[in-house]
Structures are given as structure tokens and as C-alpha cells.
Structure 1
Amino acid sequence: MKIIAVSDTHLKADIIPPTFKNIIDDCDMIVHAGDFTTMECYQAFNSTGKLKAVHGNSDDSELKRLLPEKLIFEVDGIRFGLVHEGALSIMDTTPLRYLALEMEVDVLIFGHIHRPLIEQSDVILICPGSPTSPRLSDPCLVEINVENGNISAKVIEVEGHSCGFIDFSRKLKDEN
């Protein structure tokens, strides 16, 4: 099963951006870790019939009433947890590991930091970053493949604007 994890889209539009629509169309499940921002954006993802989602801190009040704060689901015997917040820093994932253990999940997908992360210890932590509003990264999603009880995950960069810091760093590198 191919799962696309996405978070922090912060869109007001009622369409999935063409820059990553083909990736969404080619998966079995979409897991959104919150911050759609508007009901219209949520409905665009939900209309695919593949969506599992939680609300984020920037979602409007209607979405916060509709979507849970935490979600647990299972794929091929693997327990997944989904939350928006949980990380104050990408440098210290200890609270996220403890949250995964508390939720009794094998994989915890989270958002909020707008920067991708895949980290494996006794649990797998995945932050898909943001395809539309990245921080210290390029726009991206995470592809998760589950096959016969095994998991593989990789960051997929999509077209769009990188954060200003990344653009600045690349410019400095090109000048040297």
C-alpha cells in the first residue's frame, strides 16, 4: 500500500495544487497531519475518498470540530498514529517518541514544523514537511510504502517555493 503523508498545506483553495496532484492521484491513502486552514482545502483532499486526517492549530473552528486531534489506524498489521503538534523542535524528538509509545503505535506521523523528518528507533517518526509553505527545506511530502508488514518511507520533493533561507543558502553556495 502506498500512503502519501502531507501536512501544513495552509491553502484557501478548493483544489489540490497541480504541483503534487499526480502524486496524490497515484496513492492508496492520503494521511494529512493538519493545517489545511480552510474547509475548502479539506474538502478537496477528502473528495479523493482516500483521506485520513487530524486538525491542526491553524485550521478554522469548523475543521477543529469535525476532525480529531489524534487518530490511530492500522495498515497491514502496522499501527499508525497521526497528530499535528507534538514537536517543539526537530532537534529533539524525545517527546514524539514518548507520544508514539503512549498511543501504542509503530509509526507516528506529525506536522507543525513544516520540515521533513524520518527517524527510526523503536518507533518510526515521520514529519512530511510542507508542500506549500516549507521551513528550512524544499516543498515536500513523504511516501510511505507498507508491504507484508514492512515499512519504507522517503521524502519526495515537489515543485514550489523553498523557504527563503534555503534559497539564500543556495545563492551563497553558487557565488563561491
Structure 2
Amino acid sequence: MRIIILSDTHMPRKSKKLPGVLLNEMNGCDLIIHAGDWQSIELYEELKERAPVEGVYGNTDNDELRAILKEKILLEIEGYKIGVVHGHGRGKTTEKRSIEAFDDEEVDAVIFGHSHIPVKKLHNGVILFNPGSPTDKRRMPNYSFGILEITDELIFNHVFFNSKE
């Protein structure tokens, strides 16, 4: 199973269209996971035309998106439990808020966004993954998104690129 992981697309404010490298990677993917700050229902609809979509809303998402998405979700895919949350809030770091969102759940991985900073690391046996942003890199050297391949394990990787064209 091949899953594309996005967050913080902020469309159409930060980009009118998805980057070509991302669109190419979406070809033939089994699922798209978006960890919030879509900013437009049009992006949600566009992604659904490419593959099934799971996602959460972020702090900049409007009422239309909040009506169809939740603040956090727990996905069970091929026997793995994957928590998805945007990670916004007060106090603590985005990473700590994201971990705490699933304190009462047994998860294999937590996907989060908000900071626009790519993260891939292990915390107490749980994989933490932030795909970064494909359209708003802020102070990061590159734009990015993630790919999760599920075989007999969860294999998370970032795709880094220089242009959002």
C-alpha cells in the first residue's frame, strides 16, 4: 500500500495548484492523508478525484472544512493504527501536543502538521511524522510531503523539492 501524506497546503493562498512532483507521486497511490490547513474545500474535492482521502482540519480551515473533517482521527490500515492530528493549540510544542492527542490510544504512528517542519523520528516506540508543506516551506530549505509504504512494516519517507511548480 502506498499513501501520500500532506499538510499545510494553504491553498489557494500559498499556491493556486499542487506542485508537479506531488501530482506525479499521487499517480496510482492507494490513499491520501492530509493533516490539516487545507484552506479550501476545492482542494479536498480535487484530492478525492485522485484517490480516497482521509484528513483532519487545522487552525486555518474554515467552517465548511470543519463540517466534514474532524480535529483528530485514528486510522487502521493493514493492521496498523495511525493517528492523524494537525497539532495546533496552546502551550507545549506542536510535536508534544500531537503525541498527547493520542495518549489514550495505542498507535503505531502519529502524523501531524502545523509547524511546516518535516519530522520523522521514533518516540517511545511510536513513529512521529510531519510531512512539512508542499506549498509553504517558510524557513525550511525545501518544500516537502511524505510517502508511507506499508509492507510488513511502516516505511515513512519525505520527498523534498525546490520549486512548487
TM-score by structure 1 length? 0.80
**Structure 1 equivalent of residue 134 of structure 2:** 131
Q: Which has the larger radius of gyration?
A: 1
Report if aligned partners of 1:16, 1:45 keep a CA contact under 8 Å in 2: no
Q: Is the 8 A contact 2:87 2:98 kept in 1?
A: no
Higher relative contact order (CA 8 A, sep 6+): 2
Q: CA deviation at 1:14?
A: 7.5
Please state if 1:114 is matched with 2:102: no
Cα distance in 2 for residues equivalent to 1:77 and 1:7? 24
Q: 1:31 aligns with which of 30, 33, 45?
A: 33
1:147 aligned onto 2:151: yes
Structure 1 regions of 5+ residues with no counterpart?
A: 162-176
* Partners of 1:100 and 1:106 within 8 A in 2: no
1:1-176 aligned within 5 A: 1-12=1-12, 16-86=18-88, 89=93, 93-121=95-123, 122-137=125-140, 138-148=142-152, 150-160=153-163
Tell me, yes or no, if the aligned pair for 1:34 and 1:59 is still in contact at 8 Å: yes
Tell me, in whole angstroms, the C-alpha distance in 2 between the residues paired with 1:123 and 1:29.
21
- Take 1:140 and 1:79, find their aligned partners in 2: how far apart are those partners? 24
Q: Which amino acid aligns with 1:89?
A: T
- C-alpha displacement at 1:106, in angstroms? 1.1
Q: TM-score, normalised by structure 2?
A: 0.85
1:47 is displaced (CA, Å) by 1.9
SS in 2 for 1:80: strand
Structure 2: unaligned runs, 5 residues or longer = none
The Cα RMSD (Å) is 2.1
Distance in structure 2 (CA, Å) of the matches to 1:65 and 1:41 = 15
Distance 1:97 1:85 in 2: 9
Partner Cα separation in structure 1 for residue 59 and residue 50 of structure 2 = 23
State the number of aligned residues: 158
Give the deviation of 1:97 after TM superposition: 2.9
